[in-house]
Structure 1
């Protein structure tokens, strides 16, 4: 189940579970905004909560959800100016070396195939994307990675890691040879940090369930 980790008069910090959409879609999938509406119908009587960013349906983690239009406009500027730190944890196939580094690639969204295309070379319409990684541990031909996102593009983490030969476990769309029993992927947005213009202080939110990486069950793709 999702949960509200923090709340003030301007925004929520919400933990989204794997398999849940961030927002409603045309296929009527279960989504975080409908869940939040059931939890806090009083907010929806006014402007209504709106997420400042999104996580793919198979991904879990922390989201900032504005409660009002003023908060949305104010916090949106932090995203536009890249003033929000976003950290992720992932399990990927293979043993990643070196133990830390940065990935810089060119990114194009391919809406027809619901994928991102990554290249080392610039192309028309491509945007430069980047992330930093650090190896936490290796085990059974799997690497646990700590990731810091420098840009936030469609499927960026999934596509960049797959491009270097280390798809996220369960991410069959990007080449994982193992899938999860419930068709989600081993990626969590576990930390957000930013200077809050409403609280007038640095805010850091972190949630990484201790059992998260022990709970994955995989099977080979057929």
Structure 2
């Protein structure tokens, strides 16, 4: 599949990830997105030898949307610091069947990761190893059977959005791991990294990168059209 480039300059490149791509390689042996981007850069710029590409952040394999990479070590170190210091605004869209108790609100839990199950648990009380997870959500649109939530992610814990929405009774469509009863036909889940906003690490200019929703899914397209209109 051809890469969908959302943003590119001398320092950064952002792509719209499908919900089947890995960001980095794992034991599956599938070709990861970072290798595909390296190949794209090598071909586009006719670069000899290895191409430098730094992974700035990751999103889960079944999630679609914006993924940002650094083309220089300077940009990588500065972007890593900006993510650590919460200077990057991360906005996601999530489709759920069950409305949250309130149309908008802040969720605060302690996120406990179980590495053996590759799953995280949202807890009301702190336990050893648990880290605080914070997000703000709001209802954006509704169809006959589903609802679109916009999530402003304040922290970046393992499976945080998936776990916290499930905890309040609103598991993401297709997310069997967190309690949704049916999988999506494409094997992904209806969670989309919609937008990144930050000050460019070198140019010091505001940058907003927005990813169109998966075009082959009618529910996503219908919601996007309503929001844009």
If the length of structure 2 is used for normalisation, what is the TM-score? 0.88
Structure 1: runs of 5+ lacking an equivalent: 217-222
For residues 110-125 of structure 1, the aligned pairs below 5 Å read: 110-125=114-129
Partner of residue 225, structure 2: none
Q: Distance in 1 between matches of 2:51 and 2:85?
A: 25
CA contact (8 A) 2:173 2:180 kept: yes
SS in structure 2 at match of 1:65: strand
Q: Distance in 2 between matches of 1:44 and 1:193?
A: 33
Q: Distance in 1 between matches of 2:198 and 2:24?
A: 23
For residues 91-130 of structure 1, the aligned pairs below 5 Å read: 91-130=95-134
For residues 181-220 of structure 1, the aligned pairs below 5 Å read: 181-209=185-213, 211=215, 214-215=218-219
| Residues 167 and 212 of structure 1: CA distance in aligned 2, closer, same or farther (over 3 Å) | farther
SS in structure 1 at match of 2:78: helix
Q: Distance in 1 between matches of 2:179 and 2:194?
A: 24
Higher strand content, 1 or 2: 1
| Residues 71 and 46 of structure 1: CA distance in aligned 2, closer, same or farther (over 3 Å) | farther
In the TM superposition, residue 212 of structure 1 has moved relative to its aligned partner by: 6.6
CA-to-partner distance for each residue in 1:101-134, whole Å, 9 max, x for gaps? Answer: 0100001111100100110111111111110001
For residues 67-106 of structure 1, the aligned pairs below 5 Å read: 67-106=71-110
For residues 156-167 of structure 1, the aligned pairs below 5 Å read: 156-167=160-171
Partner of residue 56, structure 1: 60
| Residues 163 and 208 of structure 1: CA distance in aligned 2, closer, same or farther (over 3 Å) | same
In the TM superposition, residue 151 of structure 1 has moved relative to its aligned partner by: 0.1
CA contact (8 A) 1:95 1:141 kept: no
Partner of residue 227, structure 2: none
Q: Distance in 2 between matches of 1:43 and 1:104?
A: 46
Q: Distance in 2 between matches of 1:155 and 1:51?
A: 18
Partner of residue 20, structure 1: 21
| Residues 115 and 44 of structure 1: CA distance in aligned 2, closer, same or farther (over 3 Å) | farther
Q: How many residues align?
A: 216
